[in-house]
Homo-oligomer: A and B are copies of this chain.
Amino acid sequence: MQIEIITIGDEILIGQVIDSNSAWLASELNGLGIRVSRITAIGDDPRQIRDAIDAAFVRGDAIVTTGGLGPTRDDLTKQVLCDYFETRLVFVPEALDNIHRLFGHRGVQMTEADHRQAMLPEKAVNFPNPEGTAWGMWFRKKTKHLFSLPGVPFEMKAIFTHSMRPVLYGMTGHQAIVHKTVMTTGIGESALSAIINDWETALPDTIKLAYLPSPGIVRLRLSAFGNDTDDLRGETERQVSLLKKIIPTYIYGFDDETLQETTGKLLLRGGFTLSTAESCTGGYIAHLITSVPGCSAWFKGSVVAYANDIKSGVLGVQADTLVTEGAVSEKTVLEMANGIRQLYQTDFGLAISGIAGPDGGTVEKPVGLAWIALAGPAGALSREFRFGKERSRNITRSALAALNLLRQELIRIQGLF
């Protein structure tokens, strides 16, 4: 089975909103063995909506749309779909109850616009929205299916999970697709490609390889297509095993596992605790870590020492070090790592100081320079990195490099290699 996604909303076409819904939906649909053959974004315009549906139904039998179901006037999708599938809007008491419950719970008053949300198409299967007022809809016309979901991501996800996924599960046959993603860090796309060239050349025809680079991370996605899921899974795992032998240190995980999740597992396994002292990353390392549910088992917190007097006053970096070596130096970052480890009473203290940009660089210490240090039970180590010119990318790459330094040290200590 295959399906097309149509994203409805002027905000996408003028670039005000990034379409993250399609990626989430595509990933979920793939998990059901449903291939997404195309994603199209169009404006809040009845003719564009009808044309896009017509064209997609020429190419295939199933469409899922997102967007345009809100309570405000720029949201036209529901009426356009009713006209397209020759039905009309009727009042659904259950939907109004749901809206009442939703607003009663939140203590916010209901509006006329919310009442309009309880009007739903007569000849569609309507999917309740546990998170908001815009219900999902499933229209059918002979062999053609159209699912319409709201554009607000968490509402769309809730309706898909509760209602649309079960429906699709019933509809799908058994086409086998297996994806496996190898997560790497610490090496660029070209260098990686050169190292794994022989392995790549020897891949069987059933497996397709894609390089997916993002700042600090290159994902290698293996996609296997065929008749039998177990066979494909076996062959994919065999190829991944071969790859592991070629690049053991660069691989940190699989299938979109994050570096913070991997590192957290290693800390947990060793019974270790962690604290961080951040200058240039400004709390981003702590934010990555605390995005992992349950991290309180191994993470005690961070000191974001953006000002120099916090580095000395709170973390105990010597005033002399800051004057003679500067805030971005090996000595400073080692003192920060030892300082946070002692202050927070943790097994490991991870510290970073760098120049994120756009200003603050010199010839000797250019924008992109970062020093990272790790203090642990067996002493401290430090490393220098040179990233690029762009602030947000430097923050991301610095934070990932710091986590990777910790990961590698934990592996060394635990003798996993």
The reply to whether B26 and A12 form a contact with Cβ atoms under 8 Å apart is yes
- The listed residue with most B CB atoms (<10 A of its CB), out of A14, A154, A313, is A14
Of B109, B284, B294, B309, which is within 8 A of A287 by CB? B284
- Check B15 against A23 for contact (C-beta < 8 Å): yes
What bracket does the count of chain A residues touching chain B fall in?
35 or more
Contacts of A395 in B (CB 8 A): 290-291
Interface core residue of A179, A286, A345 (most chain B CB under 10 Å): A286
A118 at the B interface (CB under 8 A)? no
A10 touches B223 (CB 8 A): yes
- Contacting pair B16 A19 (CB below 8 A): no
Q: A18-B23, A74-B210 are in contact. Are A290 and B300 (CB under 8 A)?
A: no
A41 x B38 contact (CB < 8 A):
yes
Give the chain B neighbours of A296 by CB distance below 8 A. 306-307
Q: How far is the CA of A257 from the CA of B310 in the complex (A)?
A: 29
**Is A70 located at the chain interface by the 8 A CB criterion?**
yes
Asked whether A24 is an interface residue with its Cβ less than 8 Å from the other chain, the reply is yes
Q: A113-B193, A154-B393 are in contact. Are A287 and B287 (CB under 8 A)?
A: yes
19 sampled A-B residue pairs with Cβ under 8 A: A7-B39, A9-B210, A13-B35, A14-B221, A15-B24, A15-B27, A15-B28, A18-B20, A18-B23, A19-B22, A44-B210, A72-B211, A152-B213, A283-B285, A286-B286, A287-B287, A290-B304, A290-B395, A294-B359
- 19 further A-B pairs in the complex, CB-CB below 8 A; given A39-B40, A40-B40: A10-B208, A11-B221, A12-B22, A15-B22, A15-B25, A15-B29, A17-B23, A18-B22, A19-B39, A22-B41, A72-B189, A72-B209, A74-B208, A74-B211, A109-B194, A282-B286, A283-B284, A296-B306, A300-B306
